[in-house]
Each structure stands twice: as structure tokens, then as C-alpha cells.
Amino acid sequence: MPDSTLTLARTGGIELARIVYTEEQIAARVEEMGAEISAAFPEGDRLLVLGLLKGSFIFLSDLVRQITRPLHVDFLVAASYGSGTTSSGKVDLLYNPNAEFVGRHVILVEDIVDSGTTLSRLVPMLEERGPLSLEICTLLHKHVAADLIREPRWVGFDAPHEFLIGYGLDHAEDYRHLPFIGSL
């Protein structure tokens, strides 16, 4: 099956404007990021990798397998998009983890930093829990947030100002399963 036919089949017949990052590009960058994170923390440090669901689940899964430090994984569920293609500006926290933060380095894993609304709400809340450090790791960064409370320490790719789907990113819950990142 030709690539364009396969892409149409995977997207349910929706044509993409383009494939922005291939499966191979993503895998190579995630491997590099895992090495960077591993090098940032001394042996024996207690890491908590906190995934922001739902968008980060595929990225987080691949990332933690590349980190060579002992770690625990937990999740947050926050919603700010609904079924639209732009942030609503309102963040609803739907699941709050019970994991212990005190004495641990916490890495908040995001799929994409866009408006910055979600991070601006979550970072102060997570800092109140007393982690040794709180860092942000994101697969994609659009660099459009006017008042981003904290810049991510690790960024997979600088993202174009397009609506992106695939590798966990969705449009109204569709297209998360795509192994690449494409533009609608």
C-alpha cells in the first residue's frame, strides 16, 4: 500500500496537510531525551515521572523506557480543549495523583506546550507538594504562550503553529494512534 493510501487509511480518510515528524524522527529524539534526563539526575535520586493525560501517554511510555534511572510513574488528567482546535482557556483537573512528591525529583511530561494555560495552573499546585525539583518535559513546544509560568527543560521539537495530531495528540479524541505527527 503506498504511503499516501496508508496515511488515508490510518486517519479514517482525512487527508493531512503534511506529516510534520516521522515515526523514525520521533523515536530518535525520544531516545536522546531519555539520555539527557538520565544524565541530569545522579544515581540513587528518586524520580517521579508524571504524565499529563491523555495526550502524553504514548510519548511517556516511550520516554520512560529510555531513562536509565529508577523511577515511578503517575498521571494527571487535565482538560482544556474539549472538541475544539484551540484551548478553551479553562483547565479542569479530572484526576489528581496520590504519589508522594517530598524528597523526589518530579518530571511533568506534556505532549505539547501551546497556550501554556495547563502548565500555569499545574506548576504552582505541584510545587506546593514539596518536590526536590520540578521540571517539565514536552514532546512539542509551539513557543506561543504569552505568560508561560515555566519553560520546559526538555523539548523534543519546536512545533509549527499548526493543529497537530498523532503520537498521542488528538482532535476530538481521534488520531492519537498514528505513529507519526501530522498537520490537519
Give the residue numbers annotated as catalytic, written as ranges: 114
Burial track 59-69 (b if 16+ CB lie within 10 A, e otherwise): bbebbbebbeb
Q: Which three cell numbers stand for residue 174?
A: 481521534
Q: How far is CA 17 from CA 11, 14, 100, 144, 183, in A?
A: 12, 10, 43, 21, 5
* 124 phi and psi angles, rounded to 5 deg: -60, -40
* Contact yes or no for 167/59 (Cβ under 8 A): yes
- Per the listing, cell 507519526 goes with 180
Residues sharing a CB contact under 8 Å with residue 176, sequence separation 6 or more, in sequence order = 54, 55, 58, 165, 166, 167, 168, 169, 170
C-alpha–C-alpha distance, residues 11 and 178, integer Å: 8
